[in-house]
Amino acid sequence: MKYINILVQNEAKIATITINRPNKLNALNRDTIQELHNAFRELDEDKNIKAIIITGSGEKAFVAGADIAEFSNFSEKEGGELAKEGQERLFDFVENLATPVIAAVNGFALGGGLELAMACHFRIASDNAKMGLPEVSLGVIPGYGGTQRLPQLIGKGRANEMIMSARMIDAQKALAYGLVNEVVAQQELLPLCKKMASSISNNSSVAISYAIKAVNAGFSSSVDGYVEEIKAFGACFGTKDFKEGTTAFLEKRKANFE
Ligand code: COA
C-alpha cells in the first residue's frame, strides 16, 4: 500500500514504521492516523512479521502531538468524535494488536505523541527525548487515552502532576518513572529496538499474542484479567507452537516456531 505520511520498511521478521512529517515534528493529523491504522493492520495480518517498531523521522521528534492546526476550530461534537475515532482507529488498536509493538521515542513525544508511545507494548527512548502531556496549556485534556494510560504506567500522583503542569520530563526521569524501559544515545536507538524485536521474534508469536491479551485484560473494566489468563493459558495447549516449544526443550534443541 502507498503511504504519504509514513514509511514502512520490513527487514527480516521486523517492520519499522516511521512517521514522516518532520516539518510538523511528525504531528498526527487525521490522514496520518488513518495511514497508521492501515499499516498496523496490514503488518499484523502478515504472518512473516513478528514485531513492529514505530518511530518518528528526523532527530528532533517522535511525534509532537495531535495536529493542533487541524482541530483548533472544532465544535464540542467534533472534538468528542476526534477523540473517539482516534482511540478506536489507532491507540486502542495498537494496544490490542496481536503483534508486539515497540515505540522508539527519538525526541519530543508530546500529547498524542506520548499517547501513541504509551499505547505501544513498551517504549525505548533516546537520551534527547522529552515527554509530556501539554494539553491543558491549550485548554483541552489528553483525548487519545493519556488520562488512563499515564496513571497505569507511572502512578496517579506523577501522572496528575505531568497533566496539570503540562511540563515535559526528560528521558532520565521517564526511565526513573518506568515510562520507558531503556535510554540510549540517539544513534543506538533503532539498533537496540531492532535487537529487542529480533529476540522477541524468536519466541512463539501465538503465545505472545495471548500474553498481550491477558495483560491488557487486567486493565479492562469489562473482563477479568485472571479469567482471561486462564483461558489464554489453556488455549496455548492447543497450538503447534506449544508442541514445538515443549518438544524442543525435551529434545535439548532450540524451538523453531512458524
Ligand atoms: N501540531 C501542529 N503543528 C505542530 C505541532 C503540533 N502538535 N507541533 C509542532 N508543529 C509544527 C510547528 O507549528 C512548526 O510548523 P511551521 O514551521 O509551519 O510553523 C513546526 O512544527 C516546527 O515546530 P516549532 O514549534 O517551530 O519547533 P520548536 O523547536 O520551536 O518547538 C515544540 C518544539 C515541540 C516545543 C513545539 O513545536 C510545541 O510546543 N509543539 C506543540 C506541542 C503540543 O502542545 N502538543 C500537544 C498537542 S494536543
Q: Are residues 122 and 156 in the same domain?
A: yes
Atom of ligand 1 at shortest distance to CA of 130?
Answer: 34
Q: What is the pLDDT along the chain (258 residues), one digit of tens a residue?
A: 789 999 999 999 999 999 999 999 999 999 999 999 999 999 999 999 999 999 999 999 999 999 999 999 999 999 999 999 999 999 999 999 999 999 999 999 999 999 999 999 999 999 999 999 999 999 999 999 999 999 999 999 999 999 999 999 999 999 999 999 999 999 999 999 999 999 999 999 999 999 999 999 999 999 999 999 999 999 999 999 999 999 999 999 999 998
Residue 255 within any structural domain of the chain = no
Q: Which residue among 19, 21, 23, 25 has the greatest number of ligand 1 atoms within 8 angstroms of its CB, and so is best to mutate? A: 25
Give dist(CA 98, CA 88) in Å, integer.
Answer: 16
The angle formed by the CA atoms of residues 181, 182 and 188, to the nearest 5 degrees, is 140
Quick one: which of 63, 125, 128, 50 has its CA closest to 90? Answer: 63
Q: CA 17 from chain center: how many Å?
A: 11
The count of domains in the chain is 2
pTM: 0.98
| 157 and 55 in a common domain | yes
Closest CA to 52 of 6, 5, 115, 110: 6
- Residue of 151, 140, 148 whose CA lies nearest to 95: 148
Specify the pLDDT at position 103: 99
- Which ligand 1 atom is nearest residue 69's CA? 2
- Domain extent for 243: 205-250
Say if residue 25 is in the same domain as residue 97: yes
Catalytic residues: 115, 135
Mark whether 108 and 176 lie in a shared domain. yes
Statement to judge: residues 35 and 159 lie in one domain:
yes
The verdict on residue 171 lying in a domain is yes
Q: Which of 21, 24, 57 to mutate to test the pocket of ligand 1 (most atoms within 8 A of CB)?
A: 24
117's grid cell:
508511545
197 and 172 in one domain? yes
Beta bridge pairs of residue 125:
105, 183
- Are both 184 and 212 inside the same structural domain? no
* Whether residue 134 sits in one domain with residue 111: yes
User: Are 128 and 96 contained in the same domain?
Assistant: yes
Classify each residue of 124-158 as buried b or exposed e, where b means 16 or more C-beta atoms within 10 Å of its C-beta: bbbebbbbbbbbeeeebebbbbbbbbbbebbeeeb
Please tell me the residue having the least CA distance from ligand 1 atom 18. Answer: 24
Q: Whose CA is nearest to atom 10 of ligand 1?
A: 24
The residue whose CA is least distant from atom 36 of ligand 1 is 64
